[in-house]
């Protein structure tokens, strides 16, 4: 008996894709990437909560040393509410910090439990917005002195971005194609996630070129002012501080160009993996020489800093992009496979 080989129309073949094993496998990969991101984000929130339990946070120095400085140099519309909130908290600083620390621990635990991920993320969004305004002064962007090296635009903003990428997506209806189901992730989707990454890095490029960050000794002064909390870290910081003295303008131009390239490469989907690696590497350098590990060794840190969050965001994007490429190859292969009868 002869064998007849038929190549079905593309649309007809694709209509059977939901029944192929590639689609469940791709969805399973997507779910694993998202779940891993939720767990890592939960651990970061737990660490922030533990940092908030430090004795320093329960004294009035928390108000004068953490909150009120965020009003300095701000426009009145920003400075006045920050000052008002700080003064409102001051008489009740012990109660406030106990609440803040407990809430962050609960957010972290909520992210570690599958059933409470969505409520935990919603709580984290609201809390992070308040922290970004009061605790970080909107990343000090409106003061003219925000510097990516020292943590701008603020860790709280990155918590929000990581959270929306980690948002669990409900299963789409079976009528939709497998390709449509496996593309989407988080609340933003792939394209808007690329836009968010690009906005972060283009924003960093702009911040590097601000007069406060591009003067001859700007980088030296920023590193020299990093609170280390340990003698060995101070010794490490002295080397880049001395090496950058007088070279602030050149450093700012180079870092602005690299930051823009990192952002645009991901947006254009050209050499995305190298761009993500470079972005994470730069963030880790900032974390060490510009932030002193987020000030964790000083006993006064309120969060882990920006680098762990940039690493999480980059890892999520890489994981989802790789999953999408694998899914695209498998679905394309399924369409091209002939049917024999």
Confidence grade of residue 339 (pLDDT, cut at 50, 70, 90): very low
DSSP 104-154: HHHHHHHHHSGGGHHHHHHHHHHHHHHIIIIITGGGGGGGT---GGGTTT-
Residue 20 in this model has a pLDDT that exceeds 50: no
Summarize pLDDT for 168-187 with one digit per residue, the tens: 876 554 444 444 444 446 88
How far apart, in whole angstroms, are the C-alpha atoms of residue 183 and residue 180? 6
Residue 165 in this model has a pLDDT that exceeds 80: yes
pLDDT at 14: 47
Question: For residues 340 and 303, which has the higher predicted lDDT (pLDDT)?
Answer: 303
Mean pLDDT of the chain: 86
Question: For residues 169 and 240, which has the higher predicted lDDT (pLDDT)?
Answer: 240
Decide: 66 and 302 in contact? Cβ < 8 Å.
yes
Question: For residues 181 and 134, which has the higher predicted lDDT (pLDDT)?
Answer: 134
Residue 336 in this model has a pLDDT that exceeds 70: no
Residues 134-138: contacts with CB within 8 Å, 24+ apart? 134/67, 134/70, 134/81, 134/82, 134/85, 134/86, 135/66, 135/67, 135/70, 135/302, 136/70, 137/69, 137/70, 137/71, 137/74, 137/78, 137/82, 138/74, 138/78
Confidence grade of residue 260 (pLDDT, cut at 50, 70, 90): very high
Confidence grade of residue 12 (pLDDT, cut at 50, 70, 90): very low
Residue 208 in this model has a pLDDT that exceeds 70: yes
Residue 323 in this model has a pLDDT that exceeds 90: no
CA separation, residue 181 to residues 28, 121, 165, 258 (Å): 12, 23, 16, 35
Residue 43 in this model has a pLDDT that exceeds 70: yes
Confidence grade of residue 24 (pLDDT, cut at 50, 70, 90): low
Percent of the chain at pLDDT > 70 equals: 82
Confidence grade of residue 88 (pLDDT, cut at 50, 70, 90): very high
Confidence grade of residue 341 (pLDDT, cut at 50, 70, 90): very low
Nearest of 244, 36, 280 to residue 158 by alpha carbon:
280
Summarize pLDDT for 190-203 with one digit per residue, the tens: 889 999 999 999 99
Instruction: Name which of 82-96, 179-193, 274-288 the model is least confident about.
Output: 179-193
């Amino acid at each position: 008996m002869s064998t007849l080989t038929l190549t079905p129309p593309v649309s007809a073949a694709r209509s059977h894709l939901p029944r192929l094993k590639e689609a469940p496998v791709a969805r399973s990969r997507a779910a694993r990437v998202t779940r891993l991101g939720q767990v890592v984000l939960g651990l970061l929130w737990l660490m922030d909560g533990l940092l908030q339990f430090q004795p320093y946070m329960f004294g009035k120095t928390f108000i004068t040393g953490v909150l009120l400085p965020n009003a300095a140099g701000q426009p009145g519309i920003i400075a006045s509410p920050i000052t008002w909130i700080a003064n409102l908290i001051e008489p009740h600083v012990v109660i406030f910090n106990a609440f803040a620390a407990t809430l962050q621990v609960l957010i972290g635990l909520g992210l570690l439990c599958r059933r409470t991920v969505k409520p935990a993320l919603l709580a984290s969004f609201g809390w992070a917005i308040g922290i970004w305004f009061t605790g970080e002064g909107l990343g000090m962007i409106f003061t003219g002195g925000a510097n990516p090296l020292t943590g701008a635009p603020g860790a709280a903003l990155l918590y929000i971005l990581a959270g929306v990428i980690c948002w669990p997506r409900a299963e789409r209806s079976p009528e939709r194609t497998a390709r449509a189901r496996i593309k989407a992730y988080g609340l933003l989707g792939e394209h808007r996630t690329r836009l968010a990454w690009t906005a972060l890095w283009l924003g960093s490029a702009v911040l590097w070129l601000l007069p406060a960050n591009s003067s001859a000794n700007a980088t030296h002064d920023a590193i020299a002012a990093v609170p280390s909390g340990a003698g060995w870290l101070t010794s490490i910081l002295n080397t880049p501080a001395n090496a950058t003295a007088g070279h602030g303008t050149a450093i700012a131009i180079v870092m602005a160009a690299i930051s823009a390239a990192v952002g645009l490469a991901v947006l254009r989907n050209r050499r995305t993996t190298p761009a993500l690696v470079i972005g994470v590497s730069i963030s880790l350098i900032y974390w060490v020489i510009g932030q002193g590990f987020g000030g964790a060794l000083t006993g006064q840190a309120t969060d882990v800093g920006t680098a762990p969050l940039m690493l999480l965001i980059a890892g999520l994007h890489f994981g989802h992009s790789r999953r999408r490429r694998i899914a695209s190859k498998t679905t394309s292969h399924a369409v091209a496979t002939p049917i024999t009868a």
